[in-house]
Structure 1
Amino acid sequence: MASLKEVRNRIVSVNSTQQITKAMKMVAAAKLRRAQDNILQMRPYAQKLNEMLSTVSAGSESSVETPLKAVRAAEKILIVVVTSDRGLCGAFNTNVVKATLLLIEEKYAVQAAKGNVEIFAIGKKGAESFTRKGYKVNTAFVDTFSRLNFVTVKSAAEQIMTAFAEGQYDVVDLVFNEFKNVATQIIHTDPYLPIVSEDTSKKSKKTEVNYIFEPTEEEIMAELIPKSLKIQLYRAVLESNASEQGARMTAMDKATENAQELLKELKLIYNRTRQAAITTEILEIVGGAEALKNS
């Protein structure tokens, strides 16, 4: 059985840990509130922009050519992986890494065997994990969350689009956590590039309209397509940020509860140990008194 001093030290240690987890939970809750507001404001804009792009594409008489629509044989693959910069958020980062590895195994095993799968890491945890696994990792934007804004994500999207247009990659996929609620995050593995035109057979009659374009159709689409891709990536990063704070808040709440349960057990052990020590001392005193009486 542990000594009283050892049990006291453990109680102090667990109590300090509980205070830290409580503080981290409160910080995560405050950040979650802001992150949730950001993503709730972004979703309608992103959805409307995609809807506008689809509507204009459906209503145009000709298909506007752009390097971002170029469909090539999938030889060189880029996977944009959005994780967090810090840990202590449960299985948040592990789930993204597992989903990415599963995507590579199911779709790009041949390319991976040739070393043609590259990771574009947004978030330090993903960069560290895939570097350890031997993948080539682009770490230019691992600190995105320390200065999270549209300008930073826009630069990342522009770099990806330029690399694709120049033929450095044939396919670009996006893996991230979508925020549903504090306790639930949904993993998404979405195609990012090339842009796949909507099947004309699936277009509704509402979109069968002749539009008058001002300025030209080419100019409008040249503006809408890159903007849509930038917003798509920015939304994914905002979704991941909100998911991270929700996962961290949940993890720290659970850690605080576990610390409380551990404190109860340690205090019970402490009291039992103390009672045993007192009982031993009483028995020694009684035994000594009896020995003196008999002598």
Structure 2
Amino acid sequence: MASLKEVRNRIQSVSSTQQITKAMKMVAAAKLRRAQDNIVRMRPYAQRLNAILTNLTRNADDDIVSDYGVAREVRKVLVIAITSDRGLAGAFNTNVFKGVNAAIASRYSNLPAANISVMAIGKKAHDYYGRRGQTVGDYTHVFAKLSFETVRAAAEVAMDGFRNGIYDEVVMVYNEFRNVATQIIRTEQLLPLVQEEVPATATPESNVDYLFEPSKEEIVQTLIPQSIKIQLYKAVLESNASEHGARMTAMDKATDNAGELLKALKLTYNRTRQAAITTEILEIVGGAEALAAG
């Protein structure tokens, strides 16, 4: 049985850890509110922009969308893995790694490892894939000051690589935010552009006849790159909100577990203390009886 001093030290250590996890939960909750507001505002814009682009390019000439819409034989691939800069978020980052590995195994199992590059957005992904020599560029600074400008630089690298034939396909793997306790791994093709099919129950709004000024070609050529950058930015915002939700949940569970451990340690402390007192009483009684007998 552990001594009273050892149990006291463990109680102090667990209490300190519980205070830290409780504070981290509160910080994650505050950051989550801001991140959730950002993604809630971004989703309608990204969806509407994508719908407009789909309408514009559905009947467009091939030469209008050829830069980013032509499907080639897949020989070289860029996978954009979006993780966090820090840990202590449960399985948040591990799930992204599993998603990337699953995507490679299912979609690119016929390609050699040298033909698969990873653009790691977030320090955890950069460290993980950097040790394997697969990373392209350094984007560990994205979440330090998250904005469209910082994400746009990464998107332009991927777009230039695809347009110049360095990559034949670009996919991104990230956590989609549903709620505080639920994040879903998404694997989406960023390039070449995937033309969405119009459902049979589409509303008249989904097939709008636009008036173009200055011209349809110029508008489409401007909207396509913008749409690609917005899609990546949306994925990064989804990941950012998911990270704070996952960390909040993980720290909440850690705080509860620390509370349960404290109860067990205090019970052990009381039992150990009671046993020590009982032993002392028995020793005193035994000594008194020995003196009386003598």
TM-score range, shorter chain: over 0.9
CA contact (8 A) 1:117 1:135 kept: no
Aligned with 1:126: secondary structure? helix
For residues 134-159 of structure 1, what are the alpha-carbon distances to aligned partners after superposition, in whole Å with 9 as ceiling and x for unaligned?
25112421221011001000111111
Q: Which residue of 1 aligns with 2:183?
A: 185
Q: For residues 7 and 190 of structure 1, what CA distance do their matches in structure 2 show? A: 51
Quote the offset at 1:55 in angstroms: 1.6
Quote the offset at 1:129 in angstroms: 1.8
Aligned with 2:21: secondary structure? helix
RMSD: 1.9
Q: Which residue of 1 aligns with 2:273?
A: 274
Q: For this pair of structures, how many residues does the alignment match?
A: 293
Which letter maps to 1:215? P
Counterpart check, 1:103 vs 2:100? no
CA contact (8 A) 2:55 2:208 kept: no
CA contact (8 A) 1:141 1:156 kept: yes
After superposing the two structures, state which structure 1 stretch, 145-154 or 196-205, moved more: 196-205
For residues 153-199 of structure 1, what are the alpha-carbon distances to aligned partners after superposition, in whole Å with 9 as ceiling and x for unaligned?
01111111011111110000010001000000011000000113345
Counterpart check, 1:160 vs 2:158? yes
Q: For residues 16 and 207 of structure 2, what CA distance do their matches in structure 1 show? A: 66
For residues 113-141 of structure 1, what are the alpha-carbon distances to aligned partners after superposition, in whole Å with 9 as ceiling and x for unaligned?
35100000001111222233x25112421
For residues 70-91 of structure 1, what are the alpha-carbon distances to aligned partners after superposition, in whole Å with 9 as ceiling and x for unaligned?
2211000000010000000000
Aligned with 2:143: secondary structure? helix
Q: Which residue of 1 aligns with 2:237?
A: 238
Q: For residues 62 and 262 of structure 2, what CA distance do their matches in structure 1 show? A: 70
Aligned with 1:55: secondary structure? helix
CA contact (8 A) 1:127 1:139 kept: no
Structure 2: runs of 5 or more not aligned: none
Aligned with 2:135: secondary structure? strand
Which letter maps to 1:178? E
Q: Which residue of 2 aligns with 1:89?
A: 89
Which letter maps to 1:108? Y
TM-score using structure 1 length: 0.94
TM-score using structure 2 length: 0.95
Q: For residues 238 and 37 of structure 2, what CA distance do their matches in structure 1 show? A: 11
Q: Which residue of 1 aligns with 2:261?
A: 262
Which letter maps to 2:183? Q
Q: For residues 210 and 255 of structure 2, what CA distance do their matches in structure 1 show? A: 59
Quote the offset at 1:43 in angstroms: 0.5
Aligned with 1:136: secondary structure? coil
Q: For residues 102 and 285 of structure 1, what CA distance do their matches in structure 2 show? A: 69
CA contact (8 A) 2:55 2:207 kept: no
Aligned with 1:75: secondary structure? coil
Q: Which residue of 1 aligns with 2:64?
A: 64
After superposing the two structures, state which structure 1 stretch, 200-209 or 97-106, moved more: 200-209
1:1-295 paired onto structure 2 within 5 Å = 1-58=1-58, 60=60, 64-111=64-111, 113-132=112-131, 134-198=132-196, 206=204, 211-295=210-294
Quote the offset at 1:211 in angstroms: 4.0
Aligned with 2:101: secondary structure? helix
CA contact (8 A) 1:59 1:211 kept: no
Quote the offset at 1:67 in angstroms: 1.4
- What percent of counterpart residues are identical? 58
